[in-house]
Amino acid sequence: MYQQFWSWLLYLVGLTMQVFWNCDYNDKVTAGSLNKTQYSGKWYFIMIAADSDSSLLKFGAMDSAVFLLTPMKAEGKLLLQGEFRLSKTTNCLFRQWTYYISNQTQEMILEGRPEQRTEIFVKGGDDYIMLLEVQEEGLETFKRLMLYGRSPTLTDGLRLDFEHRAHCMNLTSIFVLKQAQAPCEIS
Ligand SMILES: *[C@@H]1O[C@H](CO)[C@@H](O)[C@H](O)[C@H]1NC(C)=O
Ligand SMILES: *[C@@H]1O[C@H](CO)[C@@H](O)[C@H](O)[C@H]1NC(C)=O
Ligand SMILES: *[C@@H]1O[C@H](CO)[C@@H](O)[C@H](O)[C@H]1NC(C)=O
């Protein structure tokens, strides 16, 4: 009886692991097909995964970050504005970027950074978006996956899902924003 129970339990654990470690995520969105109305507006930066701890250094000082994504009049361009709260200060730091949607690669390219490409993944309908930033050439090379949510809350399930996804991309260094202070305002 005891033996039977254990083999049954091991079977269940194995089954769960198999499902858990399946890396077939089919939620990449081609940049040209991104619904700009659906995904525009305010996003909270929740967590990031990268290929090394050193790639995460510049994110470590960040307490929270909010972003505003706005389609621009010129087709194929998106404006991304961010307000960052650093852990050691109470000020907000403003930055903005322009993304170009490349018809050839179906990825997004940041203005002034042609070596960097950004892939888009969505999760949970309109509630989460993930950006994979890759730069394979130049002085700085990196690969990092960022999770943004309509709400700043990180649940255990969401964290596990994101970490597993990152693991599938060989991104094993993880940083979760503390969000200890109130986020900056953005509008
Ligand atoms: C894009 O998103 C908006 C808002 O969610 C929705 O009303 C619209 O139908 C969507 N367009 C397409 C082509 O799916
Ligand atoms: C990309 O395709 C869209 C729609 O077909 C077009 O309006 C736009 O001009 C194209 N952009 C470039 C850079 O070729
Ligand atoms: C992850 O790393 C392994 C071993 O270095 C490699 O075989 C695999 O192709 C990598 N996967 C990705 C998605 O980069």
pLDDT at position 140 over 90: no
Q: What is the mean pLDDT of residues 46-74?
A: 93
Q: For residue 3, give the 3-state DSSP assignment.
A: helix
Q: Is 35 in the pocket of ligand 1 (CB under 6 A)?
A: yes
Of all residues in the chain, the percent with pLDDT exceeding 90 is: 66
The predicted structure's pLDDT at residue 138: 84
Q: How far is the CA of 29 from the centre of ligand 3 (A)?
A: 22
Strands 62-71 and 108-110: unpaired
Our answer on whether the CB atom of 37 is closer than 6 Å to any ligand 1 atom is yes
pLDDT surpassing 80 at residue 46: yes
The pTM for the full model equals 0.84
Task: Say how far apart CA 11 and CA 15 lie, in whole Å.
Answer: 6
Give percent of the chain with pLDDT exceeding 70. 89
Is 141's C-beta closer than 6 angstroms to any atom of ligand 1?
Answer: no
When pLDDT is cut at 50, 70 and 90, the band that residue 13 belongs to is low
Residue (of 92, 85, 41, 78) closest to 59 by Cα position = 85
pLDDT at 165 over 90: yes
Cβ–Cβ < 8 Å for 56, 173:
yes
Nearest atom, ligand 3, residue 168 CA:
13
Split at pLDDT 50, 70, 90, the class of 14 is low
Does ligand 3 lie within 6 Å of residue 170's CB atom?
A: yes
Residues in contact with ligand 2 by the CB-under-6-Å rule are 75-76, 103
| Ligand nearest to the CA of residue 126, numbered in listed order | 1
Residue nearest to atom 12 of ligand 3 (CA): 169
Question: Among 33, 99, 101, 103, which is best to mutate for testing ligand 2, by the most ligand atoms less than 8 A from CB?
Answer: 103
Nearest Cα to 38, choosing from 83, 78, 98, 73?
78
Ligand 3 touching residue 169 (CB < 6 A) = yes
Q: Are 13 and 7 in contact (CB under 8 A)?
A: no
∠ CA 146-148-150, nearest 5°, is 175
- pLDDT for residue 4: 65
Q: Report how far ligand 3's centroid is from the alpha carbon of 148 (Å).
A: 25
CA distance 2 to 10: 13
Q: Which ligand 3 atom is nearest residue 169's CA?
A: 13
Question: Does residue 19 register a pLDDT over 80?
Answer: no
